[in-house]
Amino acid sequence: MSENDRLAIAAHLHVLLRRHTGRVTDTEWMAANPEYALAIITFARTHAQSHSVPELPEWAARLEAAWLEEPETRQRVPLAQRAGDMLRQRLEERKYVGRLR
């Protein structure tokens, strides 16, 4: 699943949590940060058990599945290679600064 899919699921979970618990969450951070997403998933499941809200575990499971699917589909680039690419890109950008007329 893409980050946009995770964002859509996170937005729906956000609305449910706001409606049933009053809790405000950060949907963009939930779609981008696995630790925050896990904390919200845990909170949603705990609240659903104690207050009998059947929608929360369903959407928490969807968000969890979206995160579990991600590592297999994402192409990982070694950190050293990414850093080298960024450095080369910056050097290329500097090469032309001040020389264009």
Q: What is the pLDDT of residues 50-87, one digit of tens each?
A: 999 999 999 999 999 999 885 544 566 677 777 778 77
16: Cβ contacts below 8 Å, ≥ 6 apart: 44, 53, 55, 56, 59
**56 belongs to a structural domain:** yes
Total domains present in the chain: 1
pLDDT digits (tens, 9 = 90+) for 3-28: 889 999 999 999 999 999 999 999 99
Nearest CA-CA partner of 32 in 53, 2, 57, 52: 2
Q: Tell me the pTM.
A: 0.67
pLDDT on residue 73: 47
**43 belongs to a structural domain:** yes
Range of the domain at 57: 3-76
pLDDT band at 2 (very low <50, low <70, confident <90, very high): confident
